[in-house]
Copies of this chain bind each other. A is one copy, B any other.
Amino acid sequence: MNYNDATLVEVDEALKEAHIAFLSYKNFSGNKKAQFLRVIAEEIEALGQQLVDTAMRETNLPEARIINERGRTTGHCRMFADMVEEGSWVEARIDTAIPNRMPAPKPDIRKMLVPIGPVVVFGAANFPLAYSTAGGDTASALAAGCTVIVKAHPAHAATSELIAGAIKKAIEKSGMPQGVFQHLHGASFEVGQALVKNPLTKAVGFTGSLAGGKALFEVANKRPEPIPVFAEMSSINPVILLPESLKRDADKTAASLAASITLGVGQFCTNPGLIIAVEGEGLTKFITALSAEFTKALPGTMLHQGIADNYSKKLTIALSQKGVMVEGESAAPGITSQGRPLVASASAETFLKNPSLAEEVFGPFSLIVRCKNSDELHKVINYTHGQLTASVIADESELAKHVALLNILVEKAGRLIINGVPTGVEVCPSMMHGGPFPATTDSRFSAVGIDAVKRFARPVAFQNFPDALLPDELKNDNLLGIWRLYNNEWSKK
Contact = CB atoms under 8 A, between A and B. Distances in A.
Interface of A: 23, 27, 88, 91, 93-95, 104, 106-107, 109-111, 114, 116-117, 217-218, 221, 225-228, 385-386, 396, 399-400, 403, 406-408, 410-411, 413-420, 424, 426, 428-432, 434, 436-438, 441-444, 446, 451, 454, 457-466, 468-469, 483, 485, 488, 490
Contacts of A117: 411
A225 B386 contact: yes
Contacts of A426: 95, 106-107, 109
Contact of A111 (B400, B431, B436, B483): B431
B434 A466 contact: no
A431 B461 contact: yes
Given A109-B430, A464-B418, A104 B437 contact: no
Nearest to A218: B221
29 contacts: A93-B429, A106-B428, A109-B430, A111-B430, A111-B431, A114-B410, A116-B444, A117-B411, A217-B221, A217-B226, A221-B221, A225-B385, A225-B386, A226-B437, A413-B460, A414-B458, A414-B460, A415-B460, A415-B461, A416-B460, A416-B461, A417-B464, A418-B465, A418-B466, A429-B485, A429-B488, A430-B485, A434-B458, A444-B457
Contacts of A408: 23
Contacts of A407: 23, 27
A444 B202 CA distance: 12
A463 B418 contact: yes
Contacts of A438: 225
Nearest to A414: B460
A270 to B, nearest CB: 11
Contacts of A403: 469
A405 to B, nearest CB: 11
Contacts of A386: 225
B460 A432 contact: yes
A308 to B, nearest CB: 28
B464 A419 contact: yes
Contacts of A429: 93, 95, 111, 485, 488
A447 to B, nearest CB: 11
Nearest to A103: B68
Contact of A444 (B93, B443, B454): B454
Contacts of A442: 228
A40 B435 CA distance: 32
Contacts of A116: 443-444
Among A429, A457, A485, which residue has the most Cβ atoms of chain B within 10 A? Answer: A429
Given A107-B420, A225-B438, A410-B460, 16 more contacts: A23-B408, A93-B451, A95-B429, A107-B426, A117-B411, A225-B385, A399-B466, A400-B469, A414-B460, A414-B461, A416-B462, A417-B463, A429-B485, A430-B461, A434-B459, A446-B459
A420 B464 contact: yes
A403 B468 CA distance: 11
Contacts of A27: 407
Contacts of A23: 407-408
A458 B430 contact: no
Contacts of A461: 414-416, 430-432
Among A399, A417, A432, which residue has the most Cβ atoms of chain B within 10 A? Answer: A432
Nearest to A386: B225
A385 B226 CA distance: 12
Given A117-B411, A225-B436, A396 B428 contact: no
Among A385, A413, A441, A461, which residue has the most Cβ atoms of chain B within 10 A? Answer: A461
Contacts of A424: 104
A16 B418 CA distance: 30
A255 to B, nearest CB: 16
